Amino acid sequence: METGTKVGHAAELMDTRFDAGIPPGPIDEKWERHRFDMKLVSPANRRRYTILVVGSGLAGSAAAASLGELGYNVKCFSYHDSPRRAHSIAAQGGINAAKNYRNDGDSVFRLFYDTVKGGDFRAREANVYRLAELSVNIIDQCVAQGVPFAREYGGLLDNRSFGGAQVSRTFYARGQTGQQLLLGAYQALERQVGLGTVTMHTRTEMLDLVVADGRARGIVTRNLVTGAIESHLGDAVVLATGGYANVFYLSTNAKASNATAIWRAHKRGAFFGNPCFTQIHPTCIPVSGDHQSKLTLMSESLRNDGRVWVPKKAGDARPPDQIPPDERDYYLERKYPTYGNLAPRDIASRAAKEVCDENRGVGPGGRGVYLDFTDAITRLGERAIRERYGNLFDMYERITGENAYRVPMRMYPAAHYVMGGLWVDYNLMSTIPGLFVGGEANFSDHGANRLGASALMQGLADGYFILPYTVADYIGRTQPDKVAADHPALRAVEEEVLERVTRLLDISGTRTVDSFHRELGRIMWDHCGMARNDAGLRRALEKIPELRAEFWENVRVLERNEEVNQSLEKAGRVADFLELGELICIDALHRTESCGGHFREESQTPDGEALRDDGHFIYVAAWEYTGSLARPNLHKEPLHFEHVRLVQRSYK
């Protein structure tokens, strides 16, 4: 177990071993040409190749179903009881597509441009362009599957503008777009299961990756009902295991969302891209006490009609209706007169943190700001507000017991999404040949900040339209031989996994897994959350290894491996978060600029806005595991901007 306590000087290499493999040619022809250059696998031979897909969210289900349709022998793994539970299901807002159905000037190029700019110029142009191109196919595909998108009376699809976009390109299905898209992919997947092309392994968690002869050749899993440690061999492995925002313990992610699959792959040689790019969502229901287990997001659309404020006076404990208007600080309207309450996610989040740090926060613990609908209700009437946001107000009342038609909502930012993830090339293949990564699990196309309604788009683009081509190309090019079931690499990994499980059970300490997770979350949130600085990050880099050391000496996991053991499941995941947390802080420390979701206090404009350092940081930071958690190697993939002009974002 590594328990390095010192921050190492990351070896900085301009590496040639890893190449993004961006196809030549004009940006709008790259994907088309690349597809033509791909090797094909004859339909008769596809059945002979086994593809392991880990995860069954948007990217995983879509990839597994599509590869099954093509005729490959697919095995899909999920730790849930059913693939339909994956956390993609919780996405509320919508999915972007450059359909230009509104005739309002949208285009593939504009979606591409907005996404690169929204990501604060830290994403690959070629990838983002492909994403924008494929966005239109996704909507077609989902409608054909029966996804009930919102429609107009004429029967055509409805759109709305979302997340500050100036065009209406967001398709939505009430406030449950993620659910409907996931169920579409889930149904396509189950269809293949019924046809026998996909074998579904539910309640099965991937605990390690098998790399044999330099290629990803399998995974080792734990059966969550029987505890059996099993190996599954394949010719290619696809990880679609989601993001790691639960490193903060409190986040909008599902309780089981974890980093184990990608972290194990990282430790087997896959580079980790931009781990410090995490996104904080400004409108979540605040923490109500120590028992808090997760945070609930309230749709950003509320900021269209709600006004954000806190008392002007620090420590003002009066109820909101007794604070007169001139003693209220509508700080977003004050600081950003043009955008006001609609300022982008990262800016709104930081502004909330700032006023709470000044002891002007509201609600229990002082970690909250008001989102007040009084003016909108006076102007439009309660009925209009109920029509627009009724379900959200109901949800707020269910959780807080407060009626937001009478008293202002309380909101606070929460960890929501990660732009970072395993580094992948244009083919979505990691630095381990044969290991592909899709969806939120890869470092993805969002750069340093993701725009609203873009996560669903990326997950489905990867799953339906990219991985089925690129995985096939890999198979066609390499024509992998079968790995013997008794390959020494396989046994070695199995033994390591079993040894680790046994060790967790044998510690028999005094602290619960959750208490460690909670403490790690607090360290991450305090020092590597909405705002980061050198001293804080160094402090975190001291605390995390200490906490990790204590974990391996003092965690208490009861009972045995050979049964349902939810503490054991959590322990393995938290052990990995305790390592990943350190890498996130190392990455955040090395990137001394501010960009997107990564705000370094040392790098800001005179009026407190994020300041990029394009001179030094126009690259993807890809970290290589070296055997020492404290001293990973940094590889830089330079980014080139030929179609987008680098500008400083301004929302004044």
Residues 457-516 that bind another protein (CB under 8 A): 464-465, 468, 512, 514-515
Among 106, 190, 582, 624, binds another protein (CB under 8 A): 190
Q: Which two tokens stand for residue 276?
A: 């410090």
C-beta of 49 vs 186, nearer to another protein: 186
Strand spans (E) along 312-359: 328-329
C-beta of 173 vs 457, nearer to another protein: 173
- Listing DSSP states for 437-449 in one string gives E-GGGB--S-TTS
- Is residue 194 at the binding interface for another protein, with CB under 8 A as the rule? yes
Among 187, 199, 561, 604, binds another protein (CB under 8 A): 187
- Is residue 400 at the binding interface for another protein, with CB under 8 A as the rule? yes
DSSP secondary structure code for residue 613 in this structure: -
Could you tell me the smallest distance in angstroms from the CB atom of residue 47 to another protein? 17
Window of 253-261, 268-276, 416-424, 449-457 that interacts with another protein by CB under 8 A: 253-261
CA distance 536 to 522: 12
Of 622, 509, 525, nearest in space to 571 by CA: 509
For residue 497, the surrounding DSSP H or E stretch is helix 488-507
Binding to another protein by CB under 8 A, coded x per residue (else -) over 211-240, reads --------------x---------------
For residue 435, the surrounding DSSP H or E stretch is strand 435-437
Could you tell me the smallest distance in angstroms from the CB atom of residue 429 to another protein? 20
Window of 209-217, 397-405, 429-437, 478-486 that interacts with another protein by CB under 8 A: 397-405
Residue found under tokens 């269809």: 191
Q: Which two tokens stand for residue 198?
A: 């996909």
- Is residue 199 at the binding interface for another protein, with CB under 8 A as the rule? no
Among 47, 151, 379, 482, binds another protein (CB under 8 A): 151
- Whether the CB-CB separation of 11 and 586 falls below 8 Å is answered with no
Of 411, 177, 182, nearest in space to 287 by CA: 411
- Whether the CB-CB separation of 617 and 634 falls below 8 Å is answered with no
C-beta of 41 vs 537, nearer to another protein: 41
Among 31, 112, 113, 186, binds another protein (CB under 8 A): 186
Window of 267-275, 423-431, 559-567, 601-609 that interacts with another protein by CB under 8 A: 559-567
- Whether the CB-CB separation of 373 and 409 falls below 8 Å is answered with yes
Residues 6+ apart with CB under 8 A from 398: none
Q: Is 411 helix (H, G, I), strand (E, B) or coil?
A: strand
- Is residue 387 at the binding interface for another protein, with CB under 8 A as the rule? no
- Is residue 556 at the binding interface for another protein, with CB under 8 A as the rule? yes
345 is catalytic: yes
Could you tell me the smallest distance in angstroms from the CB atom of residue 168 to another protein? 14
- Whether the CB-CB separation of 227 and 121 falls below 8 Å is answered with no
Task: Tell me which amino acid residue 339 is.
Answer: Y
C-beta of 187 vs 592, nearer to another protein: 187
- Is residue 193 at the binding interface for another protein, with CB under 8 A as the rule? yes
Nearest 10 degrees: CA dihedral of 493, 494, 496, 501? 140
CA distance 80 to 89: 13
Of 625, 634, 503, 639, nearest in space to 209 by CA: 625
Among 51, 181, 188, 621, binds another protein (CB under 8 A): 188
CA distance 562 to 14: 47
Among 30, 85, 303, 517, binds another protein (CB under 8 A): 85
Among 6, 33, 174, 616, binds another protein (CB under 8 A): 174
Report in angstroms the alpha-carbon separations of 306 from 6, 37, 372, 407.
46, 52, 5, 12
CA distance 303 to 59: 30
Among 111, 200, 497, 588, binds another protein (CB under 8 A): 200
C-beta of 79 vs 599, nearer to another protein: 79
CA distance 561 to 314: 52
What's the maximum distance between 2 C-alpha atoms anywhere in the chain?
76
- Is residue 264 at the binding interface for another protein, with CB under 8 A as the rule? no
Among 24, 43, 154, 488, binds another protein (CB under 8 A): 154
Could you tell me the smallest distance in angstroms from the CB atom of residue 95 to another protein? 11
Among 20, 38, 143, 498, binds another protein (CB under 8 A): 143
C-beta of 547 vs 611, nearer to another protein: 547
CA distance 182 to 353: 33
**Number of residues forming the site for another protein (CB under 8 A):** 80
CA distance 636 to 613: 15
Among 7, 134, 139, 634, binds another protein (CB under 8 A): 139
C-beta of 183 vs 429, nearer to another protein: 183
- Is residue 176 at the binding interface for another protein, with CB under 8 A as the rule? yes
- Is residue 559 at the binding interface for another protein, with CB under 8 A as the rule? yes
Window of 24-32, 121-129, 284-292, 475-483 that interacts with another protein by CB under 8 A: 284-292
Beta pairing, strands 50-54 & 236-239: parallel
Given the residues 46, 169, 303, 345, the one annotated as active site: 345
CA distance 8 to 530: 24
C-beta of 123 vs 568, nearer to another protein: 568
Could you tell me the smallest distance in angstroms from the CB atom of residue 141 to another protein? 5
- Angle 457-459-462 from CA coordinates, rounded to 5°: 105
Residues 6+ apart with CB under 8 A from 506: none
C-beta of 76 vs 369, nearer to another protein: 76
C-beta of 36 vs 638, nearer to another protein: 36
C-beta of 558 vs 646, nearer to another protein: 558
Among 6, 35, 39, 255, binds another protein (CB under 8 A): 255
Could you tell me the smallest distance in angstroms from the CB atom of residue 151 to another protein? 4
CA distance 125 to 121: 9
Q: Which two tokens stand for residue 53?
A: 């897909």
Among 160, 191, 267, 631, binds another protein (CB under 8 A): 191
Query: Which residues are known catalytic residues?
Result: 345
